[in-house]
Structure 1
Amino acid sequence: MELKTTKYSVDGAVATLTLSRPHRRNAWTGRMHTEVRWVLEQAEQHPQVRVVVITGEGRDFCVGADAQALEGHTSKGGYDAGTTADLAMPGYGIVPEFDQHFAFMMALDTVTVAAVNGAAAGVGLVLACYCDLRFAASGAKLTTAHGPLGLPAEYGLSWVLPRLVGITRSNDLLLSSRKFLACDTEGWGLFNEIVDAGRLLDRVYEYARDMAARVAPSSLATTKRQIYLDQHRDVGTAVAESDRLLREMIPSPDYREGVRALTERRLPQWPPR
């Protein structure tokens, strides 16, 4: 696919997906939606990629839906996603609950890390919230955005945001659609780290590369899936499933290499995924 609204690069075990419409503050379009899913599928199929960093080009992460697209919904008398039927389907087919826009990110083997370098509104905030890990520049401006437009909370944000920050804070953000800064959320659980804008990407790549080097690919993928599936399970089922996975993973090459690296006091050399 020719990328017109995003950029994609791979450096060892870490890939980068950059939202790239800086002249429109990386506003979301149907084309961008299509490209993001295609890029994530490429990363998912890459034998070496373990982590995907998602960020925005320029001063913004993503300011939400493009205003021209919003006007288009009005003129057409209904919602038009601006996408075609041949959307990439990364993560689909694992469990039905994840076979939806953005929820599919929970079913990916690769770990997604949002580097929120600037404004994130509406679907931009949604994208960040569905990433597995989130880092933000302290001055990044955020908002759920939907309220003043007379729209519902988008893409299941009413499900994911309370699980990140709790019902009281999420009610504030979802019902008021007020603007707030990343630095205002210190201690909320919305972001793993909040850092100065100039250090954001350096810190994110440091974290991503360390994780990819130390943690077995099979463990990353399996643990991620446990985290999200166990939100729909009782504790007994979660324990039983972890026991089953333990028996399944003990004979694996990743386990053998992990044990050797531990006893030899060196970094593991993980085989391709």
Structure 2
Amino acid sequence: MSAAAPLWDPAQYLRHAGHRARPFTDLLARVPGLPGDPPRIADLGCGPGNATALLADRWPTARVTGYDNSPRMLDRARAHHQGPTPGGGRLDFVHADVRTWTPGPAEPHDLIISNAALQWVPGHADRFPDWIAKLAPGGVLAFQVPGNFDAPSHRLLRDLAHAPRRRDRLAGTLRHDDAVLTPEAYLERLTALGCTADVWETTYVHLLPGEDPVLDWMEGTGLRPVLTALADEPGEREEFVAEYRTALRRAYPAGPHGTAFPFRRVFAVARRRDGGDGDADDRP
């Protein structure tokens, strides 16, 4: 069974905006100087656009385009960030499917970047050759993806979805632990394509406030496919969420100062070697 595309809720996603933005800022810190002036930048899977706006801050003259396939996310992004930027650049948001998006032949990009989106694209590493081929000499492909699909938050979700009484309805809805590659596999793929690559992983331990904060987090991301699949069965949907809440409370007990939520992420910054004397360790 093929799953319908998740229906996104920008407000729910942004409830943990600070924690979600930190990996993107860490990724940006490793992106080297870009070859173009002004640079051309694409943000794949831009969501509500709050992270995309950071690209315009980093490269004030850049022409930045955020791409997403969720009308709700794009509406939120356009409401807050759209048009000319204070530094003389431009920020736009366009509907596109990352599974098929490729820059046009007349618009080489200096940076193609993606923040916590490629895990939703089966076989996303197979898109790397097309994207890297459309980079300007010395251009950069940079991304980060969650690497926590074997964590309790995701294992418990799959277990509940694959229970015998739900299997027929929810089979194929959720991603598995192979939704992303290992850091070593990303390094091999990127270097084989003629890039100098910097690949690493980080586990963030988020301290989340409030009641059932891990459920609140997952309702903005990993739980969306189930909520979408059960949208026309409110009773079953509420029952599923209640069971998931109970399981998460056991897996992530609240402490005196909040709930600790470990979250592993995988990062990669790849620069084409034909860009001169720079590599992925260069700085602007």
- The two structures have a TM-score, normalised by structure 2, of 0.28
TM-score (norm 1): 0.29
Whichever structure has more strand as a proportion of its residues is 2
Larger helix percent: 1
